[in-house]
Chains A and B, each alone.
Chain A
Amino acid sequence: MKRKNLLKTTVYLLLALCLLLTACSSGTETPSTTAPDSTDSSAPAATAAPAEQEGTEEEATTTSQLVVSPAGVVQTSTTMTGAPQAEEQRLVYNNIESSSYDPIRNENMDELSSHMFEGLTCWTQGELTMGQAESIDVSEDGLTYTVTMRDDIYWSDGEPVTAYDFEWSWLRHLDPATAGKYTRMLYPIKNAQAYNAGECTADEVGLECPDERTLIITLEAPQLVFTEILAMREYMPVRQDIVETYGETWSLDPETCIGNGPFKMKELIPGEKIVYEKNPYYYDADQVILEEIECRFITDPSVELMSYEAGEIKIATQVSAESCLLHPDQSYIIQRLSSMWLVVDCEDDVLSDVRVRKALAMSFDRQAICDAVFKGAEQPSYTIIPNGMKDPITGEPWSAYGQYFEENVAEAQALLAEAGYPNGEGFPTLIFGTSTSTENEQVAQAITAMWKANLGINCEIKVEDSASFIAHRQEGAFDIARWTNTGGYNDPTNYLAYYESDQPNNDSHYSNPEYDALLHQANAEADIPTRMEMLHQLDEMLITDMAVIPLYNPAQKYLIDPSVVGAGVSPAGSLDFKRAYIAAE
């Protein structure tokens, strides 16, 4: 009997010990994040990047210790400043795998493709620069763009890049037979939409190549920032002969994946990693210092963190806010052009009353949610346009223009009472839809809990996986649903256009003829300040009617090893390594 008991106890103890070990050893590294919020605030315990803060933060009362930076050079307080090391310049990092590296087929952020391909313009260290183009002239009416290409651009097999490559690539993308998913980006071009719908021929599309080095683009209507749009992956060129010979799998084999970017594919092991090497034919090759880049495809954030801490990868991209707090001096958080909001079914019985919608929008504390769930990495937003969206002329962030509503629980309760539901009496249960992801679920729970506490309104949260969720949302299965958008360029129309009446993605079913009219007017306006003024008015209209409930701006978080210098990140959140290197110790 004694032996039995002894062994049994030992087993229990051993197990407990193992688990405790895990608990204890990590515990010591956690900085004190548990100090409760108080208005007589203590200074943040640990700060992240010293880069400039955006105007929307209040330092005094926030508990967040993470600082958000705009797009630019990725650097942290510990980033080294030395010269490149003499040993092999090889960077290993991590990102999500794509099913194809053809720029038009890449379903993730274009990052993995944009190492290998470059458009007429491109993002270098957060700045928009000329890429394959030498100069771009815009006509007075903003409808014609004349592009003169560089004369020293080549593909990675030595073939010259010509304007015909661009023309062919864009037409291929628009070709109905190609069935490209993201053709929407090309619609600014005249007749592009018609061609994509099969209603006209390729010749009628507004593209012309008078010679090898010139490309003339005719637009349907003036665009706010067409030069930024040209940097997007939908406008990157691919090789006609390769695509026609090898079919759609051409980008999965290093032999046939020929691109015109700073790096080219050296090796691809699907599900495991991709390896790039420097492209010797790139026009700027002498400024590119890295010789090889390996990108692994670890999907689990905890595994990625372990990999980073073990030194196997030098940049981690699937980082959670808690991980940033574990390594505050190696974390970098960029304010992306991304926004998260709730669509509210404006045709629903109770929700069609604007007072109800306003009450809902005003009665929860966005900052508290962001602090609790995201440790302040994400920032509250009072409009669906990302805070960081810059005015093309003045450079000011969007949020500097004005805020159209404020959180105010008392007023919200009054509005709800006015609408006929004092303290939520008689208010039906709302169905709140969100997709699976711990953070989304937490946000949903926090918001609905606050609604219950402040307004007495009950919600039923339905969590579904992405495909189901999106399908159901479009069918109108939810009263309130989460919506997120990440734009690649600084044009608010991306967001505002959703809420035109009868737009297929208008899941709020918002219908306002004034809004539609102003939207069309803005789209046709060539004068930029006037256009921006109209867009601000549209934003005001949308928020005054509260067809949507803004939440926050998601941020992109990175962990960067101090030895990585000069990596850049675009406003959309894509890393570029054109000027990056590994510093010597």
Chain B
Amino acid sequence: MVKYLMKRILMSLLTLFVLITVTFVMVRLVPGGPFDADIAEMTPEAYANLMARYGIDQPLPVQYKMYMQNLFKGDLGESLQYTGVEVAELIGRGLSATLSLTFIAVLVALIIGFGLGIAAALMPNTWVDRLCMAISTIGISLPNYVVAIGLMYLLALKLSLLPVTGLSSPAAYVMPVIALALNPIANLTKLVKTSLIDALNQDYVTMAKSKGLSQVKIVGIHAMKNALLPIVSYVAPMIANLLIGSFVVENMFTIPGIGTMLATSITNRDYTTLSGMIIFYGAGVLVFALLADLAYVFIDPRVKFED
């Protein structure tokens, strides 16, 4: 097991390295430089000074070498957009806002998703099932900016129940969390229901029932364990994607999170911040992937890892 873990970590680092390099090149391939938005106002001298300051006027291999050297020292560099601000600090800032929002959204999504899915699976073809699938369908059908605007309009403007923007109070979390979690809830409900029904139809469940085990034990332990495989496949990237894909929600509710930061760093061609975020995101995904694969082993003993 330990050997396997070590191997995986090594592979992950390698992947990360490839990721950084690919991003480095790709980002600089997109047309328009970090300072081109202001180019009409800048004189050639100012432009030259600016490029020199950030080392962008150097040839690509030289830039790459400098960047990697700094990276090994743990220095992600300075943002091109926010003069003088370290990328690490920028990410940290955005992270605290996004994490609190995402954590709650994931929790809500898991609880409600599993709840609805289990209910639908246990009582198929009843009104409970229909209701759960209706909620699921609605959640999949509405784009999240529509949900955001709708919620804002109803709850904040017309009913004055919640503040329109920001995360200043616990009440302010309600709308962004709903907007973020709705889609995952919908997907999760469906997945849980399908997987659970599949598991419940297996022979060992009939066996367990005939043995007289309680419903809770059957569903909660036996069936669930076996149903978890495809669900875990979904949840791991879901969490990672919520972190970044929350751009729209963050943008509309004026939450200074990393989703917004990612989008603006692309628009502004802020190479350093973008690279830094990709590294962070990439590392996160790799960690989640590792956890998911480990989870596979524990859940399904039939899955073996060959070396």
Contact = CB atoms under 8 A, between A and B. Distances in A.
A complexed with B: yes
Interface of A: 3-4, 7-8, 11, 15, 18, 22, 25, 99-100, 102, 105, 107, 176-184, 187, 193, 196-198, 247-249, 252, 269-273, 296-300, 302-303, 306-307, 309-310, 312, 465-472, 474, 483, 485, 504-505
Interface stretch (B8-16, B157-165, B210-218, B276-284): B157-165
Contacts of B46: 179-184, 196
B83 A102 contact: yes
Given A196-B45, A296-B165, A465-B267, 7 more contacts: A183-B42, A183-B43, A270-B256, A271-B254, A297-B254, A303-B253, A468-B30
A248 B83 contact: yes
Contacts of A4: 130
A25 B158 contact: yes
A2 to B, nearest CB: 12
A312 B149 CA distance: 17
B171 interface: no
B40 A505 contact: yes
Nearest to B134: A11
8 contacts: A11-B134, A181-B50, A182-B38, A183-B46, A300-B251, A467-B36, A468-B32, A471-B36
Contact of A310 (B52, B131, B149, B156): B156
Top 7 A-B pairs, shortest CB-CB distance: A271-B256, A248-B84, A467-B32, A179-B53, A471-B32, A197-B45, A179-B49
Contacts of B83: 99-100, 102, 105, 248-249
A329 B6 CA distance: 69
Interface residues of B, number: 63
A238 to B, nearest CB: 13
A252 B48 CA distance: 26
Interface string B250-290: 01111111001100000111000000000000000000000
A247 B254 contact: no
B93 interface: yes
A303 B82 contact: no
B137 A11 contact: yes
B52 A179 contact: yes
Nearest to A196: B45
A472 B255 CA distance: 33
A22 B152 CA distance: 11
Contacts of A485: 40
Contact of A271 (B30, B97, B137): B97
Interface in B58-99: 79, 81-85, 93-94, 97
Nearest to B126: A3
A467 B269 contact: yes
A300 B247 CA distance: 13
B35 interface: yes
A272 B127 contact: no
